[in-house]
Structure 1
């Protein structure tokens, strides 16, 4: 039976859970995730786990922090003045925003706190600092 390898475009069903068993994402009720192995389209550990699977094969794997979204970095958290955000923009904790950083690059941040005129923004990926467990099923090699 054919096994998936770098350069193959694959379709995968997955369910991702945290160490406490909480499901953070799943493709079960939608189309399988489609990506090309070895191109960096998914986190490194996910790519590695799918490589070598045959269509119809399922595995459960735990991807450590360094092969997932990396460690949580306190230096990615910043407090800014509310005045630096357009006044007509309604803010709420948990909201994801895109902001421009020095150098002109766009960066996704999450509002983690609002205290008076101060807004706390976290530039870490929401899953940074966590090992991730995935149930994977290779549906198809295209």
Structure 2
């Protein structure tokens, strides 16, 4: 079966940046299972798996606009450390912040004295990424999986909706 919208895809992947640093890898663990065409993958990878079938392996390089987007300098700002009063904070910590556009994840990228530098960009934004992919299995999604919006393990999803 070829991968089409609403197909359940089981796949292994590794993803590297421009300098060949591995960012993520499923080959040492369980493969990723997704319902194709539902936004679980970045657009460039979603397009690259279309029409593939079980057993296919390939590499694809994805530019930022088809990956996690371009970086936006206006999403980085300096805030007073007092905003984190009572908390032990460190570089790399993530928080949910309320903005005019709703809830948004921000990451602490620097702490300088009484100032904290936060970044609202996705950590992989602005990066060209190379994915090495192995399609392990492809099957039709069940009606229940499509209704729930996620892949179910054998015997159901194990929770109430």
Q: For residue 28 of structure 1, report the CA deviation from its aligned partner.
A: 1.1
Alignment of 1:68-107 (within 5 A): 68-85=67-84, 87-103=85-101, 105-107=102-104
In structure 1, C-alpha distance between the alignment counterparts of 2:80 and 2:19, rounded to whole Å:
35
| 1:120 Cα offset (Å) | 0.5
Runs of 4+ in 1 over 2 A off after TM superposition: none
Matched, 1:12 2:11: yes
Report the counterpart of residue 139 of structure 1 in structure 2: 136
Aligned to 1:28: 27
3-state SS of paired residue (1:71): coil
Q: Does 1:127 align with 2:131?
A: no
Shift of 1:57: 0.7
From 105, 108, 113, give the equivalent of 2:110: 113
2:71 and 2:130 mapped to 1: Cα distance? Answer: 18
Look up the SS of the partner of 2:30 in the other structure.
coil
CA distance in 1 between counterparts of 2:27 and 2:97 reads 32
Separation of aligned partners in 2, 1:52 and 1:73: 34
TM-score (norm 1): 0.93
Give 1:84 shift: 1.5
Where does residue 37 of structure 1 map in the other structure?
36
- Measure how far apart 1:100 and its partner are: 1.8
Secondary structure, counterpart of 2:60 in structure 1:
strand
Query: Structure 1: how far apart are the matches of 2:24 and 2:83?
Result: 33
For structure 2, the residue ranges without an aligned partner over 5 or more in a row are: 140-161
CA distance in 2, matches of 1:116, 1:129: 28
Q: RMSD of the TM alignment (CA)?
A: 1.1
Paired residue total: 139
